[in-house]
Amino acid sequence: MTSVNSKVVLLLKRGKASQLQAHHIRNISLGSSLHAEHKFKLVVVGGGAGGCGTANKFVDKFGPGEVCVIDPASDHYYQPMWTLVGGGVKTLDQSRMSMKDVLPSKAKWLQDSVTSFDPSGSKLETAAGDSVSYDWLVIATGLQLRYDKIKGLPEAFDTPGVGSNYSSKYVEKTKKAIDEFKGGRAVFTFPASPIKCAGAPMKIMYLAEETWRKQGVKADIQYRSSLPVIFGVKKYAEALWEVVKGRNINVNLRQHLIEVRPETKEAVFENLDTQEQEVITYDMLHVTPPMETPACLSQAADPDLVDAAGFLSVNKETLQHTKYLNIFGIGDCTNIPTAKTAAAVAAQLGIMRKNLGAAISGSPPPAKYDGYTSCPLVTGKSSCILAEFDFQAPPQPLETFPLNQAKERWTMFQLKSHLMPHLYWHGLIKGWWEGPGIFRRIFRFGFGH
């Protein structure tokens, strides 16, 4: 008997089967593994909103054990809630559920991460060394946070006044920083990379400003963004300029955070047009990190799998890969030119249902994604601008309600704070919620549009 098998037998005899992970058995003695081979009809890479929604939607079509979800995380988070967690409106626990409770019970969960794709061979490799073959593949890996690309991070999060709503590790530090702020300069950043929810870096700024204003705390608030505009859709950008002017918030565009010096409470920014650097002091700093696709995509061996920036190459209307027709993509990891939000995932899930379903049946994709996405721009603890738009160039409003959604409204905040979490937990990730398109059509019909 080999040393590997001896180790396995010994663990079983001692009643330590829990150490033998459900999807493979590792040999810890020599650092090698017993590599497993798996074959599924559908493999979904990623257990976020898009991955969970897709797996739940298709598991009954294939049957028990024929769908596999690959994701290393034990917990699933409703990340859009983190703006409200950092702002003190919600708690982190309210945004969390166990991964096993959101994935379909009839699917196989491989608690592992993908290290490489072999799209020509319809298989992939995992970090544990397992080989997974598939008939159909849906890639929904999302984005990785790259705090390490900013000098001084993540170490600066261990110092007072520094937080970030983009990570479960640091979002509560944002709340603490806001609560402990006694005046001075507060800086909010937007990096030079695609990010999840492009409105989130400023939402927490509005919540903080409102809190300090009501407490009588004087603050020099600065929004430093790498973008050339405050927001990418003209209608909502105009409304947001009025908000920042009314609250005396200083907006600095084309500014990219490159270093944090916590010992002196200094932040270093680079002007993306002139490459000049500026050092400013801060009393509070909210960091939005650069983001990129996981290494299995950004460093993919097959250049046809991804675009030049490392995003999955898909047809922006059908979600089907541009070369490998048994691969589809959904959510933040794709190169679909729309804002990366949970609302976009919901709309894409409806397209996935129709087009992946058709492809499995041998038919051409019947549905076309219009680029719908939404960003509820929270401007306070009782106000919100509900931005909804498409992926035209430039993006155009694609609104649901028969009213001016560029106006700050209490009703839209209630929608963001109370209704949307229920739609997420009980609709989107369960495969039922496909966005508000049907309601938009009803409202337009009813109001003669």
Task: Supply the residues annotated as catalytic.
Answer: 197, 375
Rounded to an integer, what distance in angstroms lies between the CA atom of residue 149 and that of residue 196?
17
- Distance, in Å, from the CA atom of 354 to the CA atom of 339, rounded to the nearest integer, reads 22
Residues 267 and 262: their CA atoms lie apart, in Å, by 8
Could you tell me the two tokens for 152?
A: 């001084």
Whole-number Å distance between alpha carbons of 77 and 20: 27
Give the 3-state DSSP-derived string for 293-333, with helices as H, strands as E and coil as C.
Answer: CCHHHHCCCCCCCECCCCCECECCCCCEECCCCCEEECCCC
328 φ, ψ (degrees, to nearest 5): -125, 160
Our CA angle for 434, 435, 436, nearest 5°, is: 135
**Sign for the pseudo-dihedral over CA of 236, 238, 241, 243:** negative
Helix axes 49-62, 342-360, angle to 10 degrees: 30
Q: Which residue has the tokens 């626990």?
A: 93
CA–CA dist 217, 83 (Å, integer): 21
Q: Half-sphere exposure of residue 10, counting CA atoms within 13 Å on the CB side?
A: 10
